[in-house]
Amino acid sequence: MTTPIAPRDKADILAQALPYIRKYHGKTMVIKYGGNAMTEPALQKAFAEDVVLLKLVGINPVVVHGGGPQIEAALGRLGKKGQFIQGMRVTDEETMEVVEWVLAGQVQQDIVGLINQAGGKAVGLTGRDGAMIRAKKLRMADNTDPSVEHDIGQVGDIESIDASVVKSLQDDAFIPVVSPIGFGENNESYNINADVVAGKLAIQLQAEKLLMLSNIPGVLNKAGELLTDLTAADIDGLFADGTLSGGMLPKIAGALDAAKSGVKAVHIIDGRVPHALLLEILSDQAFGTMIRSS
């Protein structure tokens, strides 16, 4: 049972949020939505409420979502097992059809519905809408022998992003929800890492912040301690000494690219914490790792 908050405590919370609301009014925040926050009903509801509240106080949220577990479940129902090479999903033509159906259909519409139910006006987009994300086939070199190249099918590398359709929706008080699917020169579809899409979109929108919800507290050092405040140079050092590896690599690479390309701050936050977005944006307490551009 939730403990009621005393009126004075409520007033203190609102007063603490006011300077941040003033500071970020009219600014764009790109949010990468994934992990437990995307699969647990209570966390889904809290996320949708956070996004709507940000919009209501004059901040412009843009949501980019993943959907790995949902894709895996859909493939399983078809009797098809997902195959991975160096952490990347091999996406043949049949798998790409499932990816599009799950991401642009099931997952995207669930998120749009949750935000609308919470009082917002969300609109779902893929990279095809407004010719937003042009992509090409990702060429992936082997980790141990760079002369060897793995063919992982219709997995895309972003060539360009035209964010004009997102800007138009923002100006009309809508909340864009973007599925990470791009298209190629022959109208073929590409599955693109959602962390990469969020980072590139944040750059194009000149976002104030990029917030990436994760299933970990943030970036940890080798002793397992949370690092709350890092620069882009610090991240380069953590790559070099092997502190960052494995599943964090795409997420951090996207975050680092954004921080080096004009996004003022990137936050990797624990999506398992209810209302993690609001706590990170509208309070002075760190709930994850902030990567500053300088």
How does pLDDT run across 42-53, given as a tens digit for each residue?
A: 999 999 999 999
Map out the domains of the chain as residue ranges: 27-216
* Model confidence at 34: pLDDT above 50: yes
Numbered residues of the known binding site for substrate: 67-68, 89, 191
Report which DSSP code applies to 131: G
What's the confidence (pLDDT) of residue 279? 85
> How many whole angstroms separate alpha carbon 108 and alpha carbon 101?
10
107 closest CA partner among 150, 44, 187, 197: 44
**pLDDT at residue 245 tops 90:** no
Q: Is the distance from CB of 224 to CB of 255 less than 8 angstroms?
A: no
The confidence score (pLDDT) of residue 54 equals 94
Q: What is the pLDDT of residues 60-112, one digit of tens each?
A: 999 999 988 899 899 999 888 878 887 778 899 999 999 999 999 999 999 99
CA angle 217, 271, 36 (to 5 degrees): 115
Averaged pLDDT score across all residues of the chain: 87
Give the span between the Cα atoms of 198 and 251, in whole angstroms.
10
- Specify the pLDDT at position 250: 67
* 131 conformational bin, left if phi > 0, alpha if psi -120 to 50, beta if neither: left
- Give me the pLDDT at residue 244, please: 76
Specify whether the backbone of 121 is left (phi greater than 0), alpha (psi in -120 to 50) or beta: beta
- Tokens standing for 54? 């940000």
Q: How confident is the model at residue 17 (pLDDT cuts 50, 70, 90)?
A: confident
**Contact assessment for residue 149 and residue 98, using Cβ atoms and an 8 Å cutoff:** no
Question: What's the CA gap between 253 and 193, in Å, rounded?
Answer: 11
Binding residue numbers = 67-68, 89, 191
* CATH superfamily of domain region 27-216: Acetylglutamate kinase-like (3.40.1160.10)
pTM value is 0.91
